[in-house]
Amino acid sequence: MFAIINTGGKQYKVSEGDLLKVEKISADVDSTVELTDVLAVSNGEGELTIGNPAVEGAKVTAKVIAHGKSKKVVVFKFKPKKDFRKKQGHRQPFTKILIEKIEA
């Protein structure tokens, strides 16, 4: 059984027991989060339910494992012959979740 969920502007194919890094969710560590924006659900027997835009009554329950920041991305702007150099860094926050249950 798997589902396709939408969280943080991105889509993920998940099944029970999966560990994901998603965009930061405002929830405490060891709490459970219900993701209701489920785009498609498969029951494991070859039957696929596709929503328009989301499947009615479907939800995915996940447990928040940790919060953190990803590796630094260096943004370097440069213009030749103008003595212009600008260096910036960015670390995107994420939430690590464990998929516990998929309900259709």
> What is the reported pLDDT for 45?
84
Range of the domain at 42: 2-103
Domain count, the chain: 1
- pLDDT tens digit at each of 104 positions of the chain: 899 999 999 999 999 999 999 999 999 999 999 999 999 999 878 899 999 999 999 999 999 999 999 999 999 999 999 999 999 999 999 999 999 999 98
> What is the reported pLDDT for 44?
78
Instruction: With beta carbons less than 8 A apart as the criterion, state whether 53 and 39 touch.
Output: yes
CB atoms under 10 Å from CB of 58, counted, come to 20
> What is the reported pLDDT for 43?
86
One-letter identity of residue 5: I
CA distance 79 to 88: 15
* Cross-strand partners of 98: 19, 63
CA distance 95 to 29: 9
